[in-house]
Amino acid sequence: MGAEPGAVPAAAALRGGGHPGTPRLFAGGVFPRAGGRARLHGITPRPPAESADPDYPYLLTTGRLAGHYLSGAQTRRTEALAKKAPEPVAELHPALAEQLRLRQGERVRLTTRRGSLELTARLAPGIHPKTVFVPFHWGGELAVNRLTNDALHPISRMPEFKICAVRMERVEPVNDPEVPETEQLEKIQ
């Protein structure tokens, strides 16, 4: 079609009109509709399929870390990135950590209706006090999406990975008499 590298084919090019495309679609402010204006449709947000309750009083949300991409299959193999984030952590508000008798670097067990996962706690004052955040870049036993809700959006059929009810508890350190105390502390950190 003769488009410049990085150009987006225009609707005319897709219909066989030979238009070379444009780096920015609708840059001229004209849309291929009567009157040339865009038509936007609002949506009504749905409540989450699962909310906090007395058995699971907090909310778990998942997301990305700046240095990793998707499952981390490539980025976790990059030494510098792997050193910055060698394993997933549970980020929670300091007030919630205090309520759970949990300190920075200690282990916390997250339990949902679908399973549980033990992670290292990282205190994050910017997070909502009733929420825990865990990055999703790890698989296998460290895959946080094992805990998330598999409810699907009725139209897009996308799973509801971003919110589910969770219970959290401090994991008591295990003292192994066969391992020197300094090594035990290294395992916890």
Q: HEC profile for 32-92?
A: CCHHHCCCCCCCCCCCCCCCCCCCCCEEEEEECCCCCCCCCCCHHHCHHHHHHCCCCEEEE
8, β-bridge pairs: 22
Which pLDDT score, from 0 to 100, does residue 119 have? 96
Structure tokens at 27: 């840059």
In what helix (H) or strand (E) does residue 96 lie, and over which residues does it extend? helix 94-99
Q: Tens digit of pLDDT for each residue in 80-133?
A: 766 766 688 999 999 999 999 999 999 999 999 999 999 999 999 999 999 999
Least Cα distance to 61 among 75, 71, 50 occurs for 50
Name which CATH class applies to 58-172: mainly beta
In what helix (H) or strand (E) does residue 89 lie, and over which residues does it extend? strand 89-92
Q: Tens digit of pLDDT for each residue in 151-163?
A: 988 888 888 878 9
Q: Hey, where are the domains in the chain?
A: 58-172
pTM, entire model: 0.69
Q: Tens digit of pLDDT for each residue in 10-20?
A: 455 555 556 66
